[in-house]
Structure 1
Amino acid sequence: MTTLVIGANGQIGRQFCELAQAAGEPIRAMVRGETQRAWFEERGIPSVVADLEGDFAHALEGCDQLAFTAGSGPHTGPDKTLLIDLYGAMRAVDLAAERGLARFVMVSALRAEDPQAAPEKLRPYMAAKLAADAYLKASGVPWTILKPGRLIDEPATRRVATSLTETGGENTVSRANVAEALLHLVQAHGLSGREFLLLDGERAISEALS
């Protein structure tokens, strides 16, 4: 089962692609241009050039499921948030439905269910994630949603939590642990209709995301 990775060139996307490649999990990295493609080709990771803001239907050819890790990033405005985190995700869901993909794995965000609870500058992003998640759930495409907490750059521990109760309110998770969790979900082909919060914690990923 080949997984198209949208957002492959992001910080989580790159780590996930390297993990998947090492694990022998068939993937295709979707990147915006040839300059981005070089990094993946150097590592033997199959890639395809396509733009989430343009025509990317061809990227799905031969793929069975989709992992959406794309994000507009912290330095863009609400316009890019709408075009990438909301409309880009919606278009990907529509294509997944048209192609009859087996599953859509969405990387969302911890506070997406309550954008007003997020810091003010993040509220448009959280609102976009909330709407994209709802659109996916209503699409008829089998889905799994991963909702990481505040992202930090630390090595992978492969030990996580799925609630703030477990962490005593600590809401952080390393990007490396998100990549590890995403690999687990992509490989768990029968796991759908589930939504998981993800934080750094004490439980093995296979136990927490089951």
Structure 2
Amino acid sequence: MKVLVAGANGTTGRLLIQYLKEDGHEAYGMVRKEEQKTKIEGLGGIPVLADLTKDVGHTVKGMDAVIFAAGSGSSTGSDQTTAVDRDGAINLVKATENLGIKKFVMLSAISADDPSQGSGPMEHYLKMKLEADEYLQGTELDYTIVRPGGLTNEEGTSKIKVGKKVDRDSIPRADVAKTMIAALEEPNAYHKTFEMVSGDTQIEDALKSL
């Protein structure tokens, strides 16, 4: 399967490229800067140069699936959060639809369905995530929206807890990446939006239980 990863230079994005390659997929990593290409190649991926806030049609051409794992980052202002986390995500969804690609996996955030749980910049971030999620939910794509708890860089366990709502907790980025990849080929995960944290259920079993 040819899979495009938007946000491939981020911590979770790099894990996605690595695991996709290990699972036998062709991993294409979208990056904004020329100098970021070598990092994607080093992970076994194929770099694609693009800016989410501009035309991204060329990045999805020929793909079988698209994963959105981009984020504006904690050091940017609200304008960048809007531009990347909402508008950039919607821009990529539209390009995916236009080219007839069916599978789209979105990396969202826990509590995105209730932005008031955040304060200041976090509330705005959750609101932008929610609006992007809602746009995707309104399409005919076979979407999966993953809303993880606090992301850590600990070693993954491949055991998670999923649900429409789960208690706020943490989860290794590795397990989030593996869950997103597993969702590509698990029909029960299609047209589903769920929160996830570390738990006791194997990823594949957790997706089948949604």
Identity of aligned residues (%): 34
- The one-letter code matched in structure 2 to 1:147 is R
After superposition, residues 57-136 of structure 1 pair within 5 angstroms as 57-136=57-136
Report the TM-score when normalising by structure 1: 0.93
Task: Provide Cα deviations, 1:77-96, integer angstroms capped at 9, x if missing partner.
Answer: 10001100011011111111
Aligned match of 1:200 in 181, 198, 201?
A: 198
1:154 alignment partner, SS class: coil
User: What's the Cα RMSD here?
Assistant: 1.7
Cα deviation, residue 189, structure 1: 5.7
- The one-letter code matched in structure 2 to 1:80 is Q
* Alpha-carbon distance change, 155 to 164 in structure 1, aligned in 2, over 3 angstroms: farther
CA contact (8 A) 1:8 1:14 kept: yes
Task: Provide Cα deviations, 1:91-145, integer angstroms capped at 9, x if missing partner.
Answer: 1111111111121111111110000012433111100010001101112222111
Aligned match of 2:175 in 163, 177, 191?
A: 177
- Residue 184 of structure 2 aligns with which residue? 186
Size of the aligned set, in residue pairs, is 208
Cα deviation, residue 163, structure 1: 4.2
In the TM superposition, structure 1's runs of 4+ consecutive aligned residues that sit over 4 Å from their partners are 163-166
Cα deviation, residue 25, structure 1: 1.6
* Alpha-carbon distance change, 60 to 163 in structure 1, aligned in 2, over 3 angstroms: closer
- Give the Cα–Cα distance (whole angstroms) in 2 for the partners of residues 165 and 101 of structure 1: 29
CA contact (8 A) 1:164 1:170 kept: no
Cα deviation, residue 164, structure 1: 9.3
Consecutive unaligned residues in structure 1, runs of 5 or more: none
